[in-house]
Amino acid sequence: MTVISLMTDFGIKDGNVGVMKGVIWGIAPHAQISDLSHMIQPQNIREAALILARSAPYFPEDSVHVVVVDPGVGTARRPMAAKIGSQFYVGPDNGTITLLLERAEDEGWQTEFVHLDKPQYWLDKISHVFHGRDIFAPAAGHLASGVSLAELGTRILDPVRLALPKPEQTGHGWRGEIIHIDHFGNLASNIRIEHLAEALKHMDKVTVTLAGEVIRGMVNTFGERQPGDLVALMGSTGNLIVSVVNGSAAERIGVKTGDPIDVSW
Amino acid sequence: MTVISLMTDFGIKDGNVGVMKGVIWGIAPHAQISDLSHMIQPQNIREAALILARSAPYFPEDSVHVVVVDPGVGTARRPMAAKIGSQFYVGPDNGTITLLLERAEDEGWQTEFVHLDKPQYWLDKISHVFHGRDIFAPAAGHLASGVSLAELGTRILDPVRLALPKPEQTGHGWRGEIIHIDHFGNLASNIRIEHLAEALKHMDKVTVTLAGEVIRGMVNTFGERQPGDLVALMGSTGNLIVSVVNGSAAERIGVKTGDPIDVSW
Amino acid sequence: MTVISLMTDFGIKDGNVGVMKGVIWGIAPHAQISDLSHMIQPQNIREAALILARSAPYFPEDSVHVVVVDPGVGTARRPMAAKIGSQFYVGPDNGTITLLLERAEDEGWQTEFVHLDKPQYWLDKISHVFHGRDIFAPAAGHLASGVSLAELGTRILDPVRLALPKPEQTGHGWRGEIIHIDHFGNLASNIRIEHLAEALKHMDKVTVTLAGEVIRGMVNTFGERQPGDLVALMGSTGNLIVSVVNGSAAERIGVKTGDPIDVSW
């Protein structure tokens, strides 16, 4: 009973996600399908890469993650499937797996990539504009029903990678940037727990600065401060986040993804 | 393991769709349930008809499509179930299946309709305002667990049909109208691949006109033009669409459903 | 094949709900999972309590309802699991089950509560801010795979209850308040069918008043009046609601939750 996750920028009103499930269940009737997100900002591969990397570790072995954020649909960009550690990726070869690959290298996981170039594993008729339905959903279904990665396509060694911004060390800590604003208005940065090992030993001595706001001290959780207070803490996936207790930091501070954030101690 | 799709105008915040799944799984514990859309514009039967017709062909045999866009709930309109080709429809008899029936007639599929008038297949208590939960979800569950269409109700022969606008031939091509605006802002028309067989042999000679915009030449996919360009192409379900590459045609051009579009060559 | 429902205030764009499903299926691969709502207003426990109480009765026996609206995450508030009648609740001990408990007392259902204090049933690493993923999803998975309530934690007897407003009898009927505004703009009150037994025998003699609007007579369903008419009727879960036929009462009348509504006859 393979788990398949779906992430797209298709939204939820036009039926396109439902159609992908119809195609998958036509091939793999027992698959469990989890929607990861269909509200990725249109064509924002970087946002999809971030959510994929932080979500995949919580899925069972052999899960198949289908991600279709695909501005290049119908052009020369390769449709791809990959095995990264114990799980599979299916989607365009456009860098969506960049952060997951970095994790694989850190952890020593094995990786394998194929170009989905075998039409016998696609739908009979292929549109130029909806490979999610015509190529990727069938590929996920075939993986879930036991077809091997190697059967689905020709091996490749050079998947596309995004050039993602990395935090930089400063005199007194790290400078990173805001990489995601969530439904609650929490602001997540690319400064991670690995960068802050020293700082987290003395959380009251840490200062976080962004958009002119200075937050003195970090907390473990929201309940340590009063509703309405601006706080800095480690988010549930190991990134430094800035939040308003029971409120929205995004509404309070006019910040957008890409804006700088500084941590010092 | 029957696949059931759900389409409603219920939105996603009030729990009503989840309740329908609870009812279905109480009757058919193994059913796979795919949300098709719950963001149909309130009471817009025509939009539901369009999404149903283009989505159903991608579902497995014996799938059950439950569509509850039901301005007449609690009145004399009949609750209905139908077999159309190899799949089932469950919902109010209000024209939602019009386009699917036209397809069935073109393809020579068999059709059969019943009035859901057997209370033993409903929930025990029936509200006046939520037949999706009380009549349609149970009917879908019973179909998925092996009850035949004929058992669920009395045969009828005259399902309601919508009068839908058809494209008309002009001196140099076709005049149709915009029938759907999707999440990306793509504008879909009712001019279909069948109308354009001749035009598609010479795509560079085709001119598409809507709302004062003139698009010269059609493309196969977005990547043939630059981001921001306005393009005309065949959508993934065989309708002529107008798009902005990596952008929103709906935002660029002030068009609404029902507005005319012309193709000439 | 246990049914698990999920209700949160997480929204649908960040992947957090999908991750909970990944965790659940890692423990209970056969569970059927129904999204109830992820659009609960952030931190609005009362709204979650309302939707839970009216939805749960439509789910099969042994269903597990996971509700994570959790302003106190990471503080001393207890993570809890409960059996209420034939179904289970998993989530923070913050009053979300108040209305369901009132129902249980009315119906004489048995109830049992445990503090989820056994880390062997959690994920290995526990964040301070996402117990939905780290504690509640695993607990639901274990219940679905046959672990008993008593194994998951230490029995408690004093679950938190919300003080919810009750309708009050007036000289000529009842005064209650608006407790929910749904996707269609229907206004639901806390005046229930139990309060209106006498009134419903003479529906044409009932007067409903809110925000200066006076509605004379109640109807059984929308189709009894013309599109655009303001009507009062019993909603599908036994609450008095005010609606506009094929329109939005919320748009027509400037009402918010907590505003008073009067019924007299």
Provide the pLDDT confidence category of residue A74 given band limits of 50, 70 and 90: confident
**Burial level of A117, CB count in 10 A (0-12/13-18/19+)?**
middle
Q: Which of A14, A43, A71 lies at the smallest CB-CB distance from B182?
A: A14
**C180: chain B residues, CB-CB within 8 Å:** 14
Buried b (16+ CB within 10 A) or exposed e, A90-110: bbbbbbbbbbbbebbeeeeee
Residue of A nearest to B1 (CA): A29
**Burial level of A252, CB count in 10 A (0-12/13-18/19+)?**
middle
Q: Which of A12, A22, A42 lies at the smallest CB-CB distance from B63?
A: A22
Provide the pLDDT confidence category of residue A73 given band limits of 50, 70 and 90: confident
* Chain B interface mutation, best of A68, A94, A129, A133, highest count of B Cβ atoms under 10 Å: A129
**B74: chain C residues, CB-CB within 8 Å:** 220-223
CATH of B3-156, one of 3.20.20.140, 3.40.50.300, 3.40.50.10790, 3.30.1300.30: 3.40.50.10790
Instruction: Count how many residues are written for chain B.
Output: 265
**B10: chain C residues, CB-CB within 8 Å:** 183
Provide the pLDDT confidence category of residue C73 given band limits of 50, 70 and 90: confident
Domain boundaries, chain B: 3-156, 168-264
| C132 vs C240: CA distance, rounded Å | 33
| A173 vs A175: CA distance, rounded Å | 7
Residue of C nearest to A64 (CA): C22
Task: Quickly name the fold that domain C168-264 has.
Answer: Elongation Factor Tu (Ef-tu); domain 3 (2.40.30)
Q: Between chains, do A183 and C14 touch, taking CB under 8 Å as contact?
A: yes
Q: Between chains, do B128 and C54 touch, taking CB under 8 Å as contact?
A: no
**A63: chain C residues, CB-CB within 8 Å:** 22
Tell me the longest C-alpha to C-alpha distance in chain B: 62
Q: Between chains, do C37 and B133 touch, taking CB under 8 Å as contact?
A: no
Residues with Cβ within 8 Å of residue C14, at least 6 apart in sequence = A37, A51, A180, A182, A183
Q: Between chains, do C60 and B25 touch, taking CB under 8 Å as contact?
A: yes
Place of tokens 């969506």: A96
Average pLDDT in chain B: 96
**C11: chain A residues, CB-CB within 8 Å:** 182-184
Provide the pLDDT confidence category of residue C19 given band limits of 50, 70 and 90: very high
* Residues B38-64 pLDDT 10s: 999 999 999 999 999 999 999 999 999
Q: Which of B195, B160, B200, B203 is nearest to B177 (CA)?
A: B195
C-alpha A190: how far from chain center: 13
In this prediction, residues C115-127 reach a mean pLDDT of: 96
User: Is B236 in CB contact (< 8 Å) with chain C?
Assistant: no
| Percentage of chain A exceeding pLDDT 90 | 95
| B189 vs B208: CA distance, rounded Å | 11
Which subunits sit against A, judged by 3+ Cβ pairs under 8 A?
B, C
C-alpha distances in Å from residue C83, one per residue of A211, B23, C89, C143? 48, 20, 6, 11
Strand partners, A263: A174, A208
| B91 vs B135: CA distance, rounded Å | 9
Residue of B nearest to A70 (CA): B246
**Burial level of A77, CB count in 10 A (0-12/13-18/19+)?**
middle
First-to-last C-alpha distance (Å) of chain A: 49
Position A75 scores a pLDDT of 80
* Residues A204-225 pLDDT 10s: 999 999 999 999 999 999 989 9
The angle subtended at Cα B154 by Cα B148 and Cα B156, nearest 5°, is: 110
Which subunits sit against C, judged by 3+ Cβ pairs under 8 A?
A, B
The shortest C-alpha distance from B226 to chain A (Å) reads 11
Position B100 scores a pLDDT of 96
Paired sense of beta strands A3-8 and A64-68, if any: parallel
Provide the pLDDT confidence category of residue A54 given band limits of 50, 70 and 90: very high
C-alpha B108: how far from chain center: 20
Q: Between chains, do B34 and A13 touch, taking CB under 8 Å as contact?
A: no
What's the Rg (C-alpha) of chain A?
Answer: 20
Position B1 scores a pLDDT of 81
In this prediction, residues C90-105 reach a mean pLDDT of: 96
ipTM field: 0.96
| C175 vs C166: CA distance, rounded Å | 9
Q: Between chains, do C22 and A35 touch, taking CB under 8 Å as contact?
A: no
Strand partners, C264: C173, C207
Position B73 scores a pLDDT of 85
User: Is C179 in CB contact (< 8 Å) with chain B?
Assistant: no
Which subunits sit against B, judged by 3+ Cβ pairs under 8 A?
A, C
pLDDT at A76 over 90: no
**B183: chain A residues, CB-CB within 8 Å:** 10-14, 42
**C145: chain A residues, CB-CB within 8 Å:** none
| B49 vs B46: CA distance, rounded Å | 5
The shortest C-alpha distance from B56 to chain C (Å) reads 22
**A183: chain C residues, CB-CB within 8 Å:** 10-14, 42
**Burial level of B82, CB count in 10 A (0-12/13-18/19+)?**
buried
| Residues 53-112 (B) with a CB less than 8 A from some CB of A | 54-55, 58-60, 63
* Residues A14-53 pLDDT 10s: 999 999 999 999 999 999 999 999 999 999 999 999 999 9
Indicate the SS3 state at residue B56. Answer: helix
Parts of chain B with a pLDDT under 70? none
Place of tokens 């393991």: B1
How many Cβ atoms sit within 10 Å of the Cβ of residue C115? 16
Q: Between chains, do A23 and B54 touch, taking CB under 8 Å as contact?
A: no
Query: Which of A13-22, A55-64, C112-121, C217-226 is predicted least confidently?
Result: C217-226
The shortest C-alpha distance from B73 to chain C (Å) reads 7
Tell me the longest C-alpha to C-alpha distance in chain A: 62
First-to-last C-alpha distance (Å) of chain C: 49
Residues with Cβ within 8 Å of residue B124, at least 6 apart in sequence = none
Position C1 scores a pLDDT of 81
pLDDT at C75 over 90: no
Q: Which residue type, as a one-letter code, is found at position C100?
A: L
Indicate the SS3 state at residue A230. Answer: strand
* Residues C174-222 pLDDT 10s: 999 999 999 999 999 999 999 999 999 999 999 999 999 999 999 999 9
Q: Between chains, do B25 and C35 touch, taking CB under 8 Å as contact?
A: no
Average pLDDT in chain A: 96
The shortest C-alpha distance from C62 to chain A (Å) reads 20
Q: Between chains, do A222 and C43 touch, taking CB under 8 Å as contact?
A: no
Position C192 scores a pLDDT of 95
Position A72 scores a pLDDT of 84
What's the Rg (C-alpha) of chain B?
Answer: 20
Residue pair C11/C41 in contact (Cβ under 8 Å)? The answer is no
| C125 vs A106: CA distance, rounded Å | 19
The per-residue DSSP string of A72-115 comes to: TTTSSPPEEEEEETTEEEEEESSSTTHHHHHHHHHHT--EEEEE
**Secondary structure letter of residue C239 according to DSSP:** E
Q: Between chains, do A14 and B51 touch, taking CB under 8 Å as contact?
A: yes
Residue pair A190/A199 in contact (Cβ under 8 Å)? The answer is no
Tell me the longest C-alpha to C-alpha distance in chain C: 62
Both tokens of B151, joined, read: 């058992």
Both tokens of A82, joined, read: 């990959």
Both tokens of B214, joined, read: 């003139």
* Residues A169-189 pLDDT 10s: 999 999 999 999 999 999 999
For residues C248 and B74, the model is more confident at: C248
The shortest C-alpha distance from B183 to chain A (Å) reads 6
Provide the pLDDT confidence category of residue C72 given band limits of 50, 70 and 90: confident
For residues C73 and B261, the model is more confident at: B261
